[in-house]
């Protein structure tokens, strides 16, 4: 068994995939350095240095074989943080090269492809929920701040949605679990990586004076419009699972 260790990045992963073919590895696994714990003392370790040219060569080949949509599906697998993500992506690349004229991502008789399909559906569902349930809070510097804690690393997948929808105001979306976020300053929309996790016990002190008034009004509106006799908790939980309630002002 040869273990390829990479830096955890998307380009790093596809550099590793390139080197699987470059060095003709057969019995191989790809794993990020962060998650690596050597259990087999006899395993050969191959350190992967991220090289954009190698990554691009794999992605260009994939674009020809499975198209941009296919690459987007593999990106979802990568962002799922599934323990098998690297091996599933490697399997898909191998099949796309072996069967270049087939739509390999629809070959659900293959166990790896079937799992890729299931992961993509779960990630897509989480992406949709993040676009629906994110709530912004106005801060003293007039930046609108939102915190999220998604099951999957969907921040890159919701970037375009929020950039297109909120072009006239500055905003930040911060992933609590992964300690990074998106910042839109009316010109650019970039990822940011704070040195330390944002202290949520202190951030409310930076609310704009209007923010608590907004929240009180919204909670009052929600209470007034909530018809108890027509309450259907089962249906409500189906559309808005409890784990998303922390994003909703009306649930506080």
The number of beta carbons lying within 10 Å of the beta carbon of residue 114 is 12
Phi, psi of 14 (to 5 degrees): -75, -20
Phi, psi of 9 (to 5 degrees): -85, 160
Q: Which residue has the higher pLDDT, 23 or 41?
A: 23
SS3 string of the chain? Answer: CEEEEECCCHHHHHHHHHHHHHCCCCCEEEEEHHHCCCCCCCCEEEECCCCHHHHHHHHHHHHHHHHHHHHHHHHHHHHCCCCCHHHHHHHHHHHHHHCCCCCHHHCCCCHHHHHHHHHHHHHHHHHHHHHHHCCCEEECCCCEEEEECCCCCCHHHHHHHHHHHCCCCCEEEEECCCCEEEEECCCCEEEECCCCCCCHHHHHHHECHHHHHHHHHHHHHHHHHCCHHHCCHHHHHHHCCHHHHHHCHHHC
The number of beta carbons lying within 10 Å of the beta carbon of residue 151 is 15
Rounded Cα distance, 159 and 219, in Å = 28
pLDDT, tens digit, for every residue of 65-75?
999 999 999 99
Average pLDDT over residues 148-174: 93
Contact residues for 70 (Cβ-Cβ < 8 A; gap 6+): 62, 96, 105
Residue 137: predicted pLDDT: 83
Strand partners of residue 182: 173, 191
- Is residue 49 packed enough to be buried (19+ CB in 10 Å), middle (13-18) or exposed (0-12)? exposed
Q: Are 3 and 36 in contact (CB under 8 A)?
A: yes
Q: Which residue has the higher pLDDT, 243 or 187?
A: 187
Q: Which residue has the higher pLDDT, 195 or 108?
A: 108
Averaged confidence pLDDT in the chain: 83
22-41 burial, b at 16+ Cβ within 10 Å, e below that, comes to eeebeebbbbbeeeeeeeee
pLDDT, tens digit, for every residue of 162-187?
999 999 999 989 999 999 999 999 99
Residue 245 in this model has a pLDDT that exceeds 90: no
pLDDT, tens digit, for every residue of 27-46?
999 999 998 887 666 779 99
Contact residues for 42 (Cβ-Cβ < 8 A; gap 6+): 1
Residue 134: predicted pLDDT: 86
Residue 204: predicted pLDDT: 60
Residue 243 in this model has a pLDDT that exceeds 60: no
Residue 91: predicted pLDDT: 97
């Amino acid at each position: 068994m040869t273990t390829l260790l990479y830096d955890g990045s998307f380009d790093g992963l596809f550099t590793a995939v390139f080197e699987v073919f470059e060095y003709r590895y057969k019995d191989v696994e790809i794993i990020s350095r962060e998650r690596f714990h050597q259990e087999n003392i006899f395993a050969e370790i191959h350190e992967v240095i991220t090289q954009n040219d190698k990554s691009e060569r794999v992605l260009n080949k994939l674009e020809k074989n499975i198209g941009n949509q296919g690459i987007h599906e593999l990106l979802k697998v990568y962002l799922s943080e599934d323990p098998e993500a690297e091996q599933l992506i490697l399997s898909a690349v191998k099949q796309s090269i072996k069967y270049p004229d087939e739509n390999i991502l629809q070959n659900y008789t293959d166990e790896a492809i079937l799992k890729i399909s299931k992961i993509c559906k779960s990630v897509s569902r989480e992406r949709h929920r993040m676009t629906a349930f994110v709530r912004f809070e106005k801060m003293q510097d007039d930046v609108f701040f939102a915190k999220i804690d998604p099951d999957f690393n969907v921040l890159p997948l919701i970037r375009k949605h929020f950039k297109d929808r909120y072009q006239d105001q500055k905003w930040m979306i911060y992933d609590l679990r992964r300690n990074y976020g998106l910042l839109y300053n009316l010109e650019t929309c970039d990822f940011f990586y704070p040195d330390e996790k944002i202290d949520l016990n202190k951030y409310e002190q930076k609310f704009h004076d209007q923010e608590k008034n907004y929240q009180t009004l919204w909670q009052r509106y929600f209470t007034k419009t909530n018809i108890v006799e027509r309450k259907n908790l089962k249906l409500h939980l189906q559309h808005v699972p409890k784990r998303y309630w922390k994003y909703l002002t009306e649930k506080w």
